[in-house]
A and B are shown apart, each in its own frame.
Chain A
């Protein structure tokens, strides 16, 4: 008989897989309360490292062509499809979903990546504008990523909710620091391995597993975060007040559905800034 080789679940920061700098871990159990894994328990310092990595990666990712970003997101879908069985098994183990239900969730997650991949080079065609101003000016409004997004994935979703939290952020050129569901963190951490093999530059998505209530004040209060998605948080009012200290953009819990095989353009636009450029027409 051969003993199987188990995986150590670690964080995903700056394209690498570190343990928590705090040295802490917590136990993730399956739906029948059996031990599955000891997972890195992210700390305040991990939040800071992740924000730093996200900031460093942001100009490069936003500066990549929309065509290129679309191909990278599509590649994520390809990689996810290739590892379907692993995700099905993690989801059904943690949530108690049947194989069929878990399989449907993975399908939705893959399809949502494909849906988002197709948006990268269409956002401005739909949401941008040439503005017919009353004067001799060329006037154009485009949408640009807001910068670094701090996000909290829904607590009740193992994979698709996580995907529908990070994809709307990175599709436009934002980078993201995302805190996983505390108890359903394994598929999110495994998704880090998918991202790492999809030509996604390191630091574009940074994944922290742990307790949102411990991490949220640090991530939401961080001065170098531009927007926060409070979906998976337990004290969103308090956090929205903290976000106001630097006028962060806030997505309140429940604003967008996250279980489906596609997202919402408005969700993408909530994490973007309209930029209007004027230039005289003349000589």
Chain B
């Protein structure tokens, strides 16, 4: 194992002491404050306003007014140009956004710099081009926007999830009230500044910060036409109940418990990298994480040995260090949840292994972990951990792999590792998952629809299909 000298990224982002909400193109006076922290150091970064039902109402009113007076009257071509502008400004401020995201989320700077921010930008570029081509979306001539979209996004990819929500909604002609996660509001607030710099008409994008009660007020607001949520299955079910009986169109992108299936004829070294990336990318705070390794029994021992060797080289620590592979867990609550589930998995017969690594004194950390010898009924084989924990299950035949992979209430993603194309294609047909990565994992692209089967939610984000979540057929 090599030693690395520290390679810290410059702290290219600064925050105001406190932030209000972004409503009608302006920041409101900060009020009802709570601190947002850096989970790697527990240092307070800024004070954030906890939005009330009244704040939400003002934001929805601003969105409705701008929808009726401005946004719905603009041509698609002009809307598209605003999106292009936003994409360009995000590129100009890319490093600042990456640093802000890393400070507030705890994920490694190499991920925010090379993945989160560029992917967020690409979403705006992609959907910008759709704005004047909606006749080709698949709903016939002159499809219509829905109106005001309520969007609630999670803490694991704060800026990227914002982009996945805002870009298609604006391209389709909707206006927006978005609520970022309570633990990671800062990149959304920087994005509000970007909207100002892009001279986006006031009220087209509104951002209200706060907790679950703020989100509930937004989702339940009677003047909202569309609800888009990414987060836990538990909250997704609450939202689905809340909107029942309304005319609100809903898309939900919820939890997952993906099987990453490795056959004995797989390219083993690639598969090791894919399994590592599948579960330790973003500390495993990924809804589509490959959290269940399904390994063909004949290569179990060899594969686990290689996997452990590779895990020994993962560098855990300061997320601002450019060499860091595994950053901080996003919050104390999440860390407690991970620890509890792993403990339960071990008590139910799982064998826990973690590499030796130095855990920083402050902040929230969990060393990468595998739990081997996991039975299908084990808690760590069934429940989403949302942390850097890989459960290992064996199988003998492709049919058994499919049965075990599908034996979950989730259905977001799956991985297949084999050099045999015909086997891969058959498995891809049989797996009940919305995204299948074969001989790769955790790939995302704005042209490529993403979303789940079963309790992983409904609706898609990305591609033409993702546009349909924000449109209805014209009259």
Contact = CB atoms under 8 A, between A and B. Distances in A.
Interface centre among A240, A266, A277 (most CB of B within 10 A): A277
B445 A240 contact: no
B434 to A, nearest CB: 6
Contact of B453 (A127, A146, A236, A241): A146
B465 A141 contact: yes
Contact of B463 (A129, A244, A245, A280): A129
Given A126-B138, A240-B245, A274-B465, A247 B437 contact: no
B448 A278 contact: yes
B138 A278 contact: no
A191 B463 CA distance: 40
B254 A247 contact: yes
A278 B438 contact: yes
B245 A236 contact: yes
B450 interface: yes
Interface in A244-269: 244-247, 249, 266
B12 to A, nearest CB: 25
Nearest to A62: B429
Interface in B199-258: 233, 236-237, 240-241, 244-245, 252, 254
A134 interface: yes
B443 interface: yes
Nearest to A237: B245
A279 B237 contact: no
Contacts of B437: 278
A175 to B, nearest CB: 15
Given A131-B463, A133-B445, A141-B465, A280 B439 contact: yes
A132 B447 contact: yes
Contacts, number: 106
A247 B237 contact: yes
Contacts of B464: 129
B451 interface: yes
Given A131-B449, A240-B244, A274 B436 contact: no
A127 B137 CA distance: 10
A99 interface: no
A249 B459 CA distance: 10
Contacts of B429: 144
A245 B454 CA distance: 11
Contacts of B456: 247
Contacts of B460: 274
A266 B465 CA distance: 12
Interface string A120-157: 00000011010111110101010010110000000000
Contact of A245 (B237, B252, B436, B438): B237
A280 B436 contact: no
B428 to A, nearest CB: 5
Contacts of B440: 137, 278-280
Contacts of B252: 247
B243 to A, nearest CB: 8
B433 A275 contact: yes
B139 interface: yes
Interface string B402-413: 000000010100
B125 to A, nearest CB: 10
Interface in B164-187: none
A226 interface: yes
A276 interface: yes
Contacts of B439: 279-280
A85 interface: no
Contacts of B434: 273-276
B122 interface: yes
Contact of B448 (A141, A147, A244, A245): A141
Given A274-B460, A277-B428, A279-B438, A131 B445 contact: yes
A238 B241 CA distance: 9
B457 interface: yes
B448 A247 contact: no
B473 interface: yes
B455 A247 contact: yes
Contacts of A247: 233, 236-237, 240, 252, 254, 454-458
Interface in B351-392: none
B52 to A, nearest CB: 26
Given A127-B138, A133-B445, A226-B454, A241 B409 contact: no
A240 B239 CA distance: 11
A247 B236 CA distance: 8
A244 B239 CA distance: 9
Nearest to A223: B409
B194 interface: no
Contacts of B432: 147
A218 B453 CA distance: 22
Contacts of B30: none
Contacts of A141: 448-449, 463, 465
Contacts of B458: 247, 249
A273 B433 CA distance: 9
B424 interface: yes
B153 interface: no
B100 interface: no
A226 B455 CA distance: 9
Contacts of B342: none
Given A274-B434, A275-B435, 9 more contacts: A133-B448, A141-B463, A144-B429, A147-B432, A241-B240, A247-B457, A276-B436, A278-B443, A280-B440
7 closest A-B pairs by CB: A237-B245, A244-B240, A240-B244, A133-B445, A131-B447, A131-B448, A247-B455
13 contacts: A127-B138, A134-B445, A137-B443, A139-B448, A147-B432, A238-B244, A243-B240, A244-B237, A247-B240, A273-B411, A275-B435, A276-B434, A280-B440
Interface of A: 126-127, 129, 131-135, 137, 139, 141, 144, 146-147, 226, 236-238, 240-241, 243-247, 249, 266, 273-280
Interface of B: 122, 138-139, 233, 236-237, 240-241, 244-245, 252, 254, 409, 411, 424, 428-429, 432-440, 443, 445, 447-451, 453-458, 460, 463-465, 473
